[in-house]
Amino acid sequence: MGDLADIILYSFLSGVTVFFGGLFRKIENFPEGKKKEEFLHSIVAFGGGILVSAVALVLVPKGIKELTLIPIIIIFIAGAICFFLLDEFISSQGGTKAQLMAMLMDFIPEAIALGAVFAHDKALGLLLAIFIGLQNLPESFNSFSDLVKSGISETKVLVIFIPLSFCGVAGAVLGYLFLGGFPKIIAGLMLFAASGILYLTFQDIAPLAKMEKNWRPALGASLGFLVGIIGQKIIG
């Protein structure tokens, strides 16, 4: 039970940043104007950079390591098609929830992986929890704005973020109890998520980061990817 208690604690700490990222977006009160717009665009780009780094450094490398070529192709295409259909449905309903979708499709597979690897390497599990927590902060910050734009009140968004913060706990416990001995299933989840994240990044997130006649926000993407490099270097 000691390992399970540690997994619950680490996955909770990594997941609670979902709530804190949204809370920061709610209470920030920067003066309206170009500087605030530049800051918000930079946060979007930063979150996008972290998502791309998760795909390039964590999800895809670990996914292709365990699977042969044909399953890789099938799972990756399935992920892209699934997210395309989901994004199209949300757009038809007038929603702008791409960042939330990307956050969850990144957060949940990594949390499951956290639980699955913890039994074999506690240090890796702890560092992966830290990495996930760092990713969730900018992603939930941006998701908060997406949900408010779709017509949900700020208070209700924070209420929604509370149970979402516990998704990582459920995923990590599931991975620890049932999937530790099934690396191919974990790999498939990671590839499916990676494909969907790439679709959402280029379809919805990257265009929101662009700011006319201002090139600074794009630097946020590079900094976000750097966070992923640092995390992967520590873990590796």
Taking only the tens place, the pLDDT of each residue in 150-190 is 788 889 989 989 988 888 899 899 888 888 778 888 888 88
The full set of domain ranges for the chain reads: 2-24+32-235
Can you give the length of the chain in residues?
236
Query: Is residue 45 within 8 Å of 218, Cβ to Cβ?
Result: yes
Q: Is the pLDDT of residue 53 over 70?
A: yes
DSSP helix/strand/coil, 211? strand
What is the phi/psi pair of residue 125, to 5°? -60, -45
* CA–CA distances in Å: residue 134 to residues 16, 32, 137, 147: 11, 27, 6, 21
DSSP helix/strand/coil, 28? coil
pTM over 0.85: no
